[in-house]
Structure 1
């Protein structure tokens, strides 16, 4: 499915009926051949937006998956870069692609770091956390950053109600809610639970100073607003 190297429909069905961790363990060898991997255009746009704010010291990719975010961290960070994920399979794939980075298996809702990083990034991970879980996630990232450290991640604008994407994402989320209501273990993956205002409020409550910048390279919607913004959440305090 998706490409000759990607997973089959049967493989995707098995993964979708697994837990999040087990599902990604199974998907890991073929993950980079699916649309779920963060596109190069987004990685490049984020790197371009962060470059004037650097250079940075140590960097961390939160929910790193197979390590696509290393493309952003490597040229921006002058010290060690680290990927954190709870899927052993995804980390194994990441290590094979980026053997010089540090890879740590951990629950990102309880990150095992304190004041260790100058830059944290994350790509496509927020949908794996229910809104009630975001405060723990953001609090952990806040603790992991040094004073003045930056947490950055892209967040797309919601599609207009008249677009096919709006109804496709709504249908996906409804399907996942039904699946999680009748099947265990849960597989948490929703596309419509990460509204920018709600994420901004949760980051502010965790102690961050938050602003957003448009990722102009990714284009604009018909109303002129950006298709995607980069959230820049700065840990308070002097570096």
Structure 2
């Protein structure tokens, strides 16, 4: 799962016993060599889908990490691109890797639950792989923030993977991971919120609609279909009404 350039077992243990912010500060230099980084295949598929929905002017990558999603925005936004994250270490790595060509890119340290931007600042907000760090009770506020910074007609977009079947090894791996994290948080402070199974499409769609966003689902056909014919990966597009 980890390349030779990735973190050691000891480094992962230190990260896991830290707060979320401190943990990612420590992991930042080697983050792109871990399975936690969104794969390029997902980034490319999302960029392709967003091109069909655009064009867009200003874009925001919510919980940008080392900036992989900012690369997607740079392909579909013509005005400017911003990455926001609360980990200073992740932002440092992102700045080092900024490519000068294309739209103007900026990096901002901030909390996604209280975004430091004016109302209606962006045409497109994206996020990749970050929602496991938010408890279900935090989603209404998070989605309200995304809606607030969108311009009328703007989109909040993110990929979501269909949950694995109980008969698959992936199901039991995710179940075990979440169980370990819950035990860790019951015994150790500060907590490290990272739960992969709490972000469910039905709940997410309902919360987005309650936040005042109109939800569309776009199949990312690059990843095929499940045996029942449903897409393995969808792009959720939540639009602020014009």
Within 5 Å, which residues of 2 pair with 1:1-239?
A: 2-98=2-98, 100=100, 101-113=105-117, 114-237=119-242
Cα distance in 1 for residues equivalent to 2:151 and 2:230: 33
State the TM-score, normalizing by the size of structure 2.
0.96
Deviation, 1:126, is 0.7
Query: 5+ residue gaps in structure 2?
Result: none
Cα distance in 1 for residues equivalent to 2:203 and 2:22: 29
- Give the SS at the match of 1:120: strand
State the TM-score, normalizing by the size of structure 1.
0.97
Deviations 1:204-230 (A, max 9, x none): 011100011111101222222111110
Deviations 1:34-67 (A, max 9, x none): 1100000000110111111111000000000000
The two structures, once aligned, show a CA RMSD in angstroms of: 0.9
Deviation, 1:160, is 0.4
Cα distance in 2 for residues equivalent to 1:97 and 1:220: 35
Cα distance in 2 for residues equivalent to 1:169 and 1:104: 32
Give the aligned length: 237
Query: 5+ residue gaps in structure 1?
Result: none
Deviation, 1:12, is 0.2
Spell out structure 1 runs of 4+ moving beyond 4 A.
none
Deviation, 1:71, is 2.1
